[in-house]
Structures are given as structure tokens and as C-alpha cells.
Chain A
Amino acid sequence: MSLRTFILGLVASFGIAWLAVVVIPFFKMRSLEPIVHAEGTEQAGEVFFPKRTGRIVNGAAVYAANGCYLCHTQVIRPTYAGNDMFRSDWGGLADDEDRGDTRRETNAWDFLGESYAHIGVTRMGPDLSNFGRRLEANYLEEGQSPEDWIYYHLYRPFNRADLRIGRATCPPHPFLFEKKKIAGQGSDEALDVDACEGHEVVPGSEVKALASYLISLKKDQAVPAQLDFSPGKK
């Protein structure tokens, strides 16, 4: 075998796979055809575009830099690939007051606005695809804001009685908060936790972006018929 045949062999064996699984799918996925809602539905004629509000880009960067993706996934797999749809409120709300069962699979439009989809590595914690929805519907106490819930959770996660799993294994992130001297009446945002005398704990800018990002995770909008694979829907 001469060097030339060897190199040609390498280029061919690697190059074919490289084109087929990386390059061509990359350029195909980059320009997805827009999907239009079908006739006879509420949004007939509109292009499907899940809207998200909040500090998505900043929040995703904080999410990435602090390794949230190591324990939390953001994908609801179709039933042939896993049981995610049956988990309570992972894919949406099983029993929403206005919309009924909103659970659905993750689709390619759900990550618009992010540069990298944090599909995740392991599920040491719950899936977060619909965390924002779940938080607002199930977790909040009377008068509590979603941000506050997230702040307390990130400050000291493993002391929470309201999580049904008992003891959360999420590590605490007190370093995302600032501890500062109380000036005047103190900050409105201060957390009700033990701080040294004359000090208060307030959320830092990173954790604010992260909270905004987490609240934006509501991937259970109605999808056009082409993307709707759930057996219960028409």
C-alpha cells in the first residue's frame, strides 16, 4: 500500500461519514423551512414561531458556565425514544385550566434565540423544558414571585419542603448572590436568609439573568399539525 492510496483511503472513509452526518445535516438544519399552521386551527396561516421573552442569551451563558446542563436536560423525547411524555408535567401541563393537556415533544423551533441547545448530559435533576410553566402553575406559594422561588432555590436548594422528591441534590450557588451592608431601609430584593448582623443577601446580575432564562422555559405551545405527533390530538 503506497502512501497515496493510504491517504486516499483515509480521506474517503472519513470524508463520506463527515459529509453525511456532520456537514450536510448542518447546512440543512441551518435553513429550516418555516412551518405554517394549518387551516381550521386558531392560528391558521401564521408561521410557527415559539416566542420567548426574557434575557435568553445572558441567561443561557450563565446556565452553561455554571454547568446546569450536567444534571438537567432540556429535551422531551418522543415515546419511541423514552418515557418523558409520561413524567408529570415534564412535557407541559397534564391539566391546564384553559388549555387542557398541553404536553408535547420538543421540536427544532424550541431553541430559537439560543446559540447552543443544552440537551444535557445526565438527569441527576428533572428536565427543564417546561420549568417556567411548571413553576408558575405548581410551585409558587401565595404571593410569591417566580424569581423569588428561583433565588431561594439556587441559594440553598436542599432544604426545600415543597419539592416532592424530598431532598434535592442540586448544589447550592451562594456565590451568585451578593452580600452587602444594609443601607437605609435595605433592598426590596433581599432574601430572607441568615446573613451577618447588618448585612443582607441580594441576587447578583448573573442570577437575575439565569432566573429570567429559566422562567422563559415554556415549551408547550400548540404546534402545527405537521409537528404534532401526540395520539390524543387531531
Chain B
Amino acid sequence: MSSQDTQSTTEDAQLRAGIDRSLRHPVMFFLCSGAAWLAVSILLGVIASAKMHHPEFLSSCPLLSYGRVFPAHMNVLIYGWAMQAAFAVIIWLMARLSRKECRSAGTILTAGHIWNLGVTMGTLGILGGYGTGIQWMEFPVFAWPVLLISYFIIIIWSFIQFRVRPKGQVYVTQWYLLAAMVWFPWIYITANTLIHCLEGHPVMAAGINAWFRSGMLLLFFTPVALGAAYYLAPKVTGRPVFSYALAKLGFWSLAIIAPWAGMQKLAGAPIPAFLPYVGAAATALIFIPACTAAVNMLCTVLSDKDTLSKSPSLRFVTAGITGLIILACSAVLLNLPFDGFNTLQLSQFSISGYGFDVLGIYGFFSLVMFGATYFIVPRITRREWVSKRLISMHFLLSCYGVVFVALVAIFGGLMQGLGIEDWKTNDLARANPYAWAVTISWSLILLSNVFFLLHLALMWMRLGRRSTHPTLLVSSHDHASPHGEEGDIDNAGEIEPAH
């Protein structure tokens, strides 16, 4: 190795360390408060789900009535956890890929606090009986400008970093993240102004709301998760992305198809009849971008099976990508408007819509975000994860739980749909066992996230292991420590193996 190379490698390492240090506080803040909101959301989800089969459960308390707990559950999941996890991943990845330190950590941190204040007030508003009744926008109307402004203050620095980056190729991750950063405010402003500020037709407002929900899932959470996966998979395995052409196809097909999706939820309602059917077609076609990206990822990851079994981040990312494939298949399955196999009319007003949302937000997006968390946090805190057992508990319970919630809700929803269409039967009796299953699996997920939150809090307090060896999921019988190799305790740099 020439001396010039050594020098540039050292400079590189210093630059990376500098970037990580500059973002430590904002990223840890978003991840920790996000994880706390996630636990709150799942707790609310368990309560809401229990009320599906036991309506009298906790019914004397107005704050905890089903009609308020369920919207609070979804909104906290989206704005409390998912958006904040996305912020952490976006600002860190954009800084790393633009090779620029963050100079505005304080501003981002302040905006992050305002965001959390907005979410808190909004959630209390829903529970207190001031919800708007517009799905995923149930926060009282005062909340959306607060969230929007803090979003801009958090994200604008990543744009600036991208503009002033050193010249070079733009990586796939950057396409996805930049696009998501543009799409979110666009759909958020559109939906809120058209519904809250301009007077329009009430049914069209419901249509715009359905488009907004689909846009949040397909045009913000999906690209952020895919961007993170495109960064992590090659980085952890050390192999290049399987195919650049596939990556391009995946990105542009998402950009072209996803904005049309969403209004299939209004099939049969009095809006122009082409809107629901365009929405159904676009949602089914999401299969193309989703599977293109998923195949690309899996081919990259499976080229190194050994790392896949050991690395927590890679395991979570791969599980999330598997979730994306299931999501893509159910997008097709739930939206077919054909005579004789009209699953659109079966799923339209059944719990399978909830299953689809949970599959997208938890089974795909959140799992990838967990993978990113397991990768990012040791780098910014300069400590390794405390316990591999906590990680594998989190992994197993999350995966089993979400598969259960999503599949049960999707298929239970189709059964319920059959009950609704067959007007002589009692459709609720059909949905009831599935509602039970959803409660049980949310409880599993709650347990797994208590582990995650605890682990993350330990890392935040800088109580992680001081070691140069990352915490890997290896089941070793020959090591004394249950947490992996100890390595260099002082974290002062690599030491030569003693033997």
C-alpha cells in the first residue's frame, strides 16, 4: 500500500468519524424518542385491538375509548415513530454520502423537540376528543403547520449538504432519499390545504385523504427504507449492488406509478369513476418497483450468507425486504376489480386495509429502520451494542409478531369482506377470531420493542460496550462472554490478536 493511499484512508476515517460525531445528538434523539413513541403506539394498538373482541374493556374512560385510541395508535406510529426514524436515517445517510459534517446539529435538535411537542399535543388532542376524523390526519388542525415547519428545519440541511458535496457519482440511496424529501412535503401540503384550508367537495376530500395515506406509505416510507437498504446491504457485505440497471428501473417505476395510487378505497363512492380504478391499478402495479428493488437487494445480500447470519443490521434489512415482497404481493391480491374475483370490494371496508398498512409501516419500513439503527448507533456513540441476546429477542419477536398481524389482518379482512358481501351472514363473527390473533401478536411486538427501547436507552447513556468488536449474532460455545468477543476494551484502536 503506498503512503498516499494510507494517508487518504486515514483522512477518510477521520472524516467519517467527524460526520458521526457532528450528528450524534440529533440522530440519537430521533431514534430514542422514536422508539419511545413506538412503544406507546403499540400499547395503544394492543388496547384498541382488545376492544375489537371485548368492546367493554376499559370503556368507562373517555380517553381510552376505541374511537380515540385507534387513531392515536396509528398517528403515533406514523408521526411519532416512523417519521422520526426516517429523519435519523435521512440526516445521517445524506451527511455520510455527501461527505459533509453537519454544522447545524443544534437547530435540528431544536426542531426535533418542536416536532415531538407537535406529536404530543396532537395525540393528546385525539385522546381528548378533538380529533378531525380524517385518517392519518387525525391530529387537531393546529398540529400540521407545526409538523411541516419543523420538518423543513430538520431536512433542509441535508439538501444543502447535497448541493455543496464534492463532485462525484450520485448513489442510489441519494436518489431515493432526495425524492422522499421532496415528495413528503408535497403530499402533506396538498392534503392539508385541500382538506383543511380550501372548501371543496366532501367526497373529494375523502378521496384526497385516501391518496395521502397511500402517498405516505409509497412515496415517503418506501423510498426512505429502500434508500437505507441500498446503503446497508452493500456496506455490510462489502459487495457491490447486484445490478445498477435494476436499481434505476426500480426507482423510476416507483416515481411514475406510486403517485396514482390510493383512491381505490373510494370504489363505488360518488367521485369520478376513473379515480378508484386508476388507484387500484397503480397499487397493484407497485409490484414492479417493489420486486425490482427487493430482488436487487436479496441478490446483493445472498452473495454473502455468512455475514447475513451474523450481522444484526443485515438480518433486519433482509427481513424488511422480505416484508416488502409480501407487501407487493398483497398489493396485487387486495386490489383486483375483476368480476368473479373482486378482491377490491372484499378488502375495501374490511380489516385487511389495516393489515396492509401495518405490513408496510412495520413489516417493511420499521424492520429496515431497525437494521439501520443497529448499524448507525455504534458508529455515532462509539460504543458497541450491549447484548446480542437483546438483539435476537427483538428480531424474533418483531418478525413473528408482524407476520402474524399482517397476514391475519389481510386474510381475516378478506374473510370479513366475504361476510359483508354475503348479506345473510353475520360478518362480525367471521372477523372475531382474527381480531384475537391481532391482539396476541401486537403483545409480542410490544415485548420486543421494550427490549429495543431498553437497549437503545443504554446506548444513549453511553453504557454500550467499549470494544472494537461489533456485537454479532453468533452462537458460540467456546466464548466465555455471552455478548461476543471483548476486543480492545478501551476502544483506542485495533490491537493485534494475542495468539
Q: Known contacts A66-B129, A123-B420, A171-B59: does B252 contact A9 (CB below 8 Å)?
A: yes
When the two chains form their complex, are residues B62 and A82 in contact, meaning their CB atoms are under 8 A apart? Answer: no
* Structural contact, B349 and A121, CB atoms closer than 8 A: yes
- Determine whether the beta carbon of B206 is less than 8 Å from that of A116: yes
Q: Is A169 an interface residue (CB 8 A)?
A: yes
Report chain A residues within 8 Å CB of B428: 124, 165, 169
Q: Which residues of A contact B52 (CB under 8 A)?
A: 124, 169
Q: How many residues of chain B are within 8 Å of chain A by beta carbon?
A: 81
User: B201 contacts the other chain (Cβ, under 8 Å)?
Assistant: yes
What distance in Å separates the Cβ of B287 from its nearest Cβ neighbour in chain A? Answer: 18
- Does B348 reach chain A (CB closer than 8 Å)? yes
B194 in the interface, Cβ–Cβ < 8 Å?
yes
* B203 interface residue (CB < 8 Å to A): yes
Do A22 and B268 have beta carbons less than 8 Å apart?
Answer: no
Q: Which of A28, A63, A67, A81 meets B345, CB within 8 Å?
A: A81
Binary A-proximity of B174-193 (CB < 8 A = 1, otherwise 0)? 01001100110010001000
Q: Are A30 and B268 in contact (CB under 8 A)?
A: no
Which residues from chain B contact A61 at a C-beta distance below 8 Å? 133
Question: Could you tell me the distance between the alpha carbons of A71 and B52 in the complex, rounded to whole angstroms?
Answer: 10
Chain A residue at minimum C-beta to C-beta distance from B57: A171
Contact A29 B200 (CB under 8 A): yes
Q: Does B353 contact A (CB under 8 A)?
A: yes
In the bound complex, what is the Cα–Cα distance between A87 and B426 (angstroms)?
12
| Segment of B7-15, B19-27, B271-279, B450-458 engaged in the interface with chain A | B271-279
Known: A69-B133, A158-B56, A171-B67. A123 touches B427 (CB 8 A): yes
Tell whether B267 is near chain A: CB-to-CB under 8 Å: yes
* A173 close to B (CB within 8 Å): yes
Q: Are B203 and A65 in contact (CB under 8 A)?
A: no
Chain A CB within 8 A of B266 CB: yes
Interface residue B256 (Cβ < 8 Å from any Cβ of A) = yes
CB neighbours of B201 from chain A (8 A): 26, 29-30, 32, 108, 111
Q: Residues of A contacting B195 with CB < 8 Å?
A: 116
Contact for A65 among B59, B131, B252, B422, CB less than 8 A: B131
Nearest B residue to A64 via CB reads B133
What distance in Å separates the Cβ of B121 from its nearest Cβ neighbour in chain A?
15
Chain B hits for A10, CB < 8 A: 179, 182-183, 255
A181 to chain B, nearest CB (A): 20
- Would you list which residues of chain B between 239 and 261 have a CB under 8 Å from chain A? 252, 255-256, 259-260
Interface bracket on A? 35 or more
Given contacts A13-B259, A22-B190, A171-B55, contact A116 B205 (CB under 8 A): yes
* Residue A139 at the chain B interface, CB threshold 8 Å: no
Interface check A183, CB cutoff 8 A:
no
Q: What 0/1 readout, one digit per residue, does chain A (97-125) give for beta carbons within 8 Å of chain B?
A: 00000000111101110111111111110
Contact, CB under 8 Å: B204 / A83: no
Q: Least Cβ distance of A30 to chain B in Å?
A: 5
- Contact digits for A13-37, partner B, Cβ 8 Å, 1 yes 0 no: 1101110111101101110100000
**Is the beta-carbon distance between A110 and B270 smaller than 8 angstroms?**
yes
- Chain B residues with CB under 8 A of A66: 65, 67-68, 129
For window 396-417 of B, CB contacts with A under 8 Å fall at: 416
B199 within 8 A of A: yes
Once A77-B269, A171-B66 are accepted as A-B contacts, the answer to whether A64 and B206 lie under 8 Å apart by CB is no
Binding site secondary structure of chain B: helix
Alpha-carbon distance between A9 and B420 when the two chains are bound, in angstroms: 43
In the bound complex, how far is the Cα of B205 from the Cα of A111, in angstroms?
Answer: 11
- Answer yes or no: B207 CB below 8 A from chain A CBs: yes
**Interfacial chain B residues near A26, Cβ < 8 Å:** 194, 198, 200-201, 204, 208
Choice from A17, A64, A106, A166 contacting B260 with Cβ under 8 Å: A17
Decide if B211 touches A21 in the complex (CB within 8 Å).
yes
CB closest residue in chain A, given B276: A81
Which residues of B sit under 8 angstroms from A168, Cβ to Cβ?
A: 55
The answer on a CB contact under 8 Å between A18 and B186 is yes
- Pair A121/B67 contact, Cβ less than 8 Å: no
Give complex CA distance A17, B258 in Å: 9
Cβ of A16: which chain B residues have Cβ within 8 Å of it? 259
User: Given A25-B272, A121-B349, A123-B420, is A13 in contact with B65 using a C-beta cutoff of 8 Å?
Assistant: no
Contact check, B423 vs A87: say whether CB atoms are below 8 A apart: yes
Q: Which of B68, B70, B134, B211 contacts A116 (CB 8 A)?
A: B134
**Which residues in chain A, 121-154, are within 8 Å of chain B measured between CB atoms?**
121-124
Residue of B nearest to A167 (CB): B428
Most chain A beta-carbon neighbours within 10 Å: one of B129, B267, B278? B129
- Provide the residues of chain A in CB contact with B387, threshold 8 Å: none
Does B259 lie within 8 Å of A18, measured CB to CB?
Answer: yes
Residues of chain A within 8 A of B56, CB atoms compared: 158, 171-172
Chain A 76-88 near chain B by CB (<8 Å), digits 1 or 0: 0110111110111
**Within 8 Å of chain B (Cβ to Cβ): is A224?**
no
Instruction: Enumerate A160-180 residues with CB–CB distance to B below 8 Å.
Output: 165-166, 168-175
Instruction: Show 28 residue pairs from A and B whose CB-CB distance is below 8 angstroms, ordered by the A residue.
Output: A7-B182, A13-B255, A13-B259, A14-B186, A23-B190, A25-B207, A65-B129, A65-B132, A66-B67, A68-B67, A77-B267, A81-B267, A81-B345, A81-B348, A82-B267, A83-B421, A84-B268, A86-B423, A105-B270, A118-B206, A119-B269, A122-B349, A124-B431, A157-B55, A158-B56, A165-B426, A171-B67, A174-B59
Further contacts, 13 of them, CB under 8 A, given A18-B259, A117-B205, A122-B416: A6-B178, A10-B255, A22-B190, A25-B207, A26-B194, A26-B201, A66-B68, A77-B269, A111-B203, A116-B133, A116-B206, A169-B52, A173-B59
Q: Which residues of B contact A (CB under 8 A)?
A: 51-53, 55-56, 59-62, 65-68, 70-71, 129-135, 170, 175, 178-179, 182-183, 186, 190, 194-195, 198-208, 211, 219, 252, 255-256, 259-260, 262-263, 265-272, 275-276, 278-279, 344-345, 348-351, 353-354, 416, 420-423, 426-428, 431
A-B CB proximity, top 9 nearest: A64-B133, A67-B67, A77-B268, A81-B268, A17-B259, A175-B62, A29-B201, A117-B202, A108-B270
Residues of A within 8 A of B (CB): 1, 3, 6-7, 9-10, 13-14, 16-18, 20-23, 25-26, 28-30, 32, 61, 63-71, 73, 75, 77-78, 80-84, 86-88, 105-108, 110-112, 114-124, 157-158, 165-166, 168-175
